[in-house]
Amino acid sequence: MNPSLIQTIVVYALPVIFAITLHEAAHGYVARMLGDNTAYLMGRVSFNPMRHIDPLGTIAIPLLLYFATGGAFMFGYAKPVPVAFRNLRNPRWGTFWVALAGPLCNFIQALLWRLLGVLLIAAGVDEPFFTRMAEAGVVVNLVLCVLNLFPLPPLDGGRVLTALLPPRPAIALARLEPYGFFIVMALVMTGLLTKIWLRPLVSIGYDAVTTILTPLASLLN
């Protein structure tokens, strides 16, 4: 195996594990707060990565796509947290907050990884492994946040939009859920999702993270 590939995998491993684990746990935790214990009873409100890793979606598919495209394209997913939305005390707004919890958790993680980067610089730590890992944590979490906010079910953004729409269009959008994954994959493979959604919104997220932490960075420097 290429040494640079091994180094890249090592640098990204921890940020990816944290990103998917806390994303899924956040869904289950907020669902429990709002009335549904399904994920909690199944042990999915957990920081244990093994409870959220899907062997196919988290490991096999990303590796296959990485090698098949020479590293140009990679896509994967974690095991979805089970939520019985009908059990939520307010199904409509409960669905909104449960769905939003995952992407919001990723944005917070992006802030924390950038904070780590700022602290490393302030402490005079210039070890490339740690600085690259901090940067990887920002990128991984922003991509996961933005991708999941795409307004098409079963992605989180689709559920958020369904909760915000009036009943008739919400029902029409929800009916797309069985086909949503394939639609998203087609958009990703053609590059359209990257061009019209991922790239511009990740850039905005990156600017937001930088702006939020600029006062602290200035203070430490």
pLDDT tens readout for residues 74-104: 566 778 889 999 999 999 999 999 999 999 9
**Would you call 24 a catalytic residue per the annotation?**
yes
Indicate which residue of 24, 127, 135, 177 is catalytic. Answer: 24
Q: 168: which residues sit within 8 A by CB, 6+ positions away?
A: none
Domain that holds residue 114: 3-220
Spatial distance between the Cα atoms of 90 and 46, rounded to a whole number of angstroms: 24
**What domain count does the chain have?**
1
Q: How confident is the model at residue 48 (pLDDT cuts 50, 70, 90)?
A: confident
Spatial distance between the Cα atoms of 219 and 221, rounded to a whole number of angstroms: 6
- As a whole number, the mean pLDDT across the chain is 88
Q: How confident is the model at residue 12 (pLDDT cuts 50, 70, 90)?
A: confident
Q: What share of the chain is helix, strand, coil (3-state, %, to 5)?
A: 75, 0, 25
User: Which whole number is the average pLDDT over 17-41?
Assistant: 92
- pLDDT tens string 126-143: 888 999 999 999 998 998
